[in-house]
Amino acid sequence: MILRLEVQKNGPTHAWLYRNGRSVFEYEGDNMAQVAAELDKELKSQWSQISGIYVFLGPAGYSRLRATHAFALGISLARQTPIAGYEVWHPRSAATPPPFSKIPLKPIYPPA
């Protein structure tokens, strides 16, 4: 399962979960705390199923980006899950993330 986190410049925080190339969960909240709570409800004890994390690099408010990156890094470090950053997601309504093994993005963790 892939987790994708995004913060909009003057808008909400989003989270998506993808399983087998299909979106299985989408949530939009006012802040990362709301998104984290909803993800926890959705995943329950299945956090270990996350095999990769995509996190938005900006532009957005510094504090909101920092909270989102800290959340993603916490999951990544706890589960030894790779994390990569992206600046633009094309198309915006993409239902399938690119394969994590072929990331055309900026790897954040584990360090290269």
| Interval 15-45: pLDDT, tens | 999 888 788 899 999 989 999 999 999 998 8
Give the right CATH number for 2-109 from 3.90.550.10, 3.40.50.620, 3.90.470.20, 3.30.420.40.
3.30.420.40
Mean pLDDT of 56-76: 85
**pLDDT on residue 99:** 52
Mean pLDDT of 70-94: 76
CA dihedral sign of residues 33, 39, 41, 46: negative
Q: How far apart are CA 34 and CA 40, in angstroms?
A: 10
Percentage, residues of the chain above pLDDT 90: 20
CA distance to 7, 32, 43, 49, per residue, from 106 (Å): 17, 22, 26, 22
Mean pLDDT (the chain) is 79
Q: How confident is the model at residue 98 (pLDDT cuts 50, 70, 90)?
A: low
**pLDDT on residue 59:** 77
Biggest CA–CA distance in the chain, Å, is 33
What pTM does this model have? Answer: 0.77
CB proximity list for 91: less than 8 A, separation 6 or greater = none
Q: Is 102 exposed, middle or buried (0-12, 13-18, 19+ CB in 10 A)?
A: exposed
Q: How confident is the model at residue 92 (pLDDT cuts 50, 70, 90)?
A: very low
